[in-house]
Amino acid sequence: MNKQFSNSPTFFDLGFENIDEKDISTMKCISYGLKKKRITYNKLIIDYLKGKELSKEQLDIVHSILDGSIYIQNRQKYNHCKLCSNEFQIDYIKETSKDYKYWELGYPTVPYFPAGFMIYLKNRASLKIENIQDLTLPEIEELKKIIVLTYNKLNMQLFNGELSGINVLFNQISKSELCIHGHVELMIKDIDKLKLGCKLEHYLPADPITKVINEQLFNSESILKSSQGIRIPFDNSEQAALKILAEYEKIIKSTVTRSKSIITPMYEIDERLKNNLNPAPTNSVYLTYYQGKFVLSSVPSVTLDTITTSQLVPTDEQVYCLKINQYANNPESLLMYECAPLARPSIKVSRDSEEGSNVKILVKQVKEVLY
C-alpha cells in the first residue's frame, strides 16, 4: 500500500483502511518568500486596531477592507473573473497541454503546494463554468486522464515511485476567481521529512457545522461521512458522485442562508452560525487519485473561530490566516482565524528560508519533466 505518510493517516486515507479519526494527522504547508497583498493588508488592520498612526493612504485601505468595498471593487474589474480575462497571466505547460482538448496546465505565481501547478479549461472565457459538478462527462474523463498520466510520468522520471498520488483542489461556493480551476498537489511520500515547508500535526481541524450538514445528507454505502466533510468513490460512478456533491453543496448554501436570518439564537449551533459565519463560506472539493483509485471529497468551511486584538501575536502565520469579517454583528466577530483549506492548510509567508529554496529546485525539476 503506497500511503503518503508512513507513520500517520490523514483525511485522504479515509475509506482506504479502517481509521479512527482521533488517529488522523493534518499536513500543513508553508510557502516561503511570497509577496502577498493579504499579508500587507492584514498587517495594516492589526496596526489600526492597536492604535498605531497610519498614513491617509493606509487608512483608506483599512476602511475599504472593513466596509468590504475593496472586494466589490476587485470583482467589478472583470466581466466575470480575472481567470477568463486578458489580465490572467500564467507560466503555461505548453508541451503537456497541447495533447488535451479541454484542459491546460500552468504554473501560477503563488501555488498552494510545493511544485503544485494549476489546471483550467482552455475555453473558460466562453464557457464560464464555475463548479466541478457542471462539467461534461468528456471534460471529467479528460481531467482524470491528465491526472493519471501526470502521476505516472512524474513517478517514473522524477520521484522513483515515491509519489503516492495527486490531489486537485477546486474551491467552490465563495471564491475570488469564478471560473473552475484546480490547484494540483503532488502527494509526495513523507513530504514532511524533505524540508519543503510541509509538516504533520496531530489534530483534525473541522468546522463544527459540518456535523449538522452531514446529518441533512442522505445516508448511502457510497458516502463516507467524517467531521471534516464527505468522501465519495469516483471510479465508474462519476455522475452519481457529482449528484451527491451537488446535493451536499445545496445543503451548505441553505445553511449559510439560514444563518443570516437568525435573530435570537435558541441553540448553541445557532449562536455559532449567527456570530461566527465565514464572510466567504467555502467548499473545498478534492479530486484525488490515490492508491490507484479516484475519490471525490467535499470539505465545508461555513463558520470560523474569532480572535481578539489581545490574542493577536503577529507571527507570519497568524497574519496570513487573519480574516476580516466585514459583515460582523459585533466587535467580537470582526477578526477571524482561517487556516485554509481545512483538510490541508496552506499558508504563505514573505520571509525566505531553506525550504523555500528547496521548493524552487523541485519546481524546476517538475518543469523539466512536464514542459
The one-digit pLDDT tens for each residue of the chain (371 residues) are 689 999 999 999 999 988 999 999 999 999 998 888 889 999 999 999 889 999 999 999 999 999 888 887 777 788 899 999 988 989 999 888 999 999 999 998 878 899 999 999 999 999 999 999 999 999 999 999 999 999 999 999 999 999 999 999 999 998 889 999 999 999 999 999 999 999 999 999 999 999 999 999 999 999 999 999 999 999 988 999 999 999 999 999 999 999 989 988 888 999 999 999 999 999 999 999 999 999 999 999 999 999 988 888 778 889 999 999 988 877 888 999 999 999 999 999 988 999 999 999 999 999 999 98
pTM, 2 dp: 0.94
**Using CA atoms, how far apart are residues 284 and 310, in angstroms rounded to an integer?**
31
Cell of 331: 466587535
Beta pairing partners, 165: 187, 290
Say if residues 294 and 233 touch (Cβ distance below 8 Å).
yes
Q: How confident is the model at residue 84, as a pLDDT?
A: 94
Cell of 173: 461556493
State the DSSP code for 157: I
**Using CA atoms, how far apart are residues 93 and 116, in angstroms rounded to an integer?**
12
Residue whose grid cell is 469516483? 234
User: What's the per-residue H, E or C state across 241-303?
Assistant: HHHHHHHHHHHHHHHHHHHCCCCCCCCHHHHHHHHCEEEEEEEEEEEEEECCEEEEEEEEEEE
**Using CA atoms, how far apart are residues 367 and 7, in angstroms rounded to an integer?**
30
Beta pairing partners, 337: 305, 322
**Using CA atoms, how far apart are residues 35 and 43, in angstroms rounded to an integer?**
13
Side chain identity at 362, as an amino acid letter?
L
**Using CA atoms, how far apart are residues 324 and 278, in angstroms rounded to an integer?**
10
Q: Where are the domains of the chain?
A: 31-370
Enclosing H/E stretch for 121: strand 118-121
What is the homologous superfamily of the domain 31-370 according to CATH? HIT-like (3.30.428.10)
Enclosing H/E stretch for 225: strand 224-225
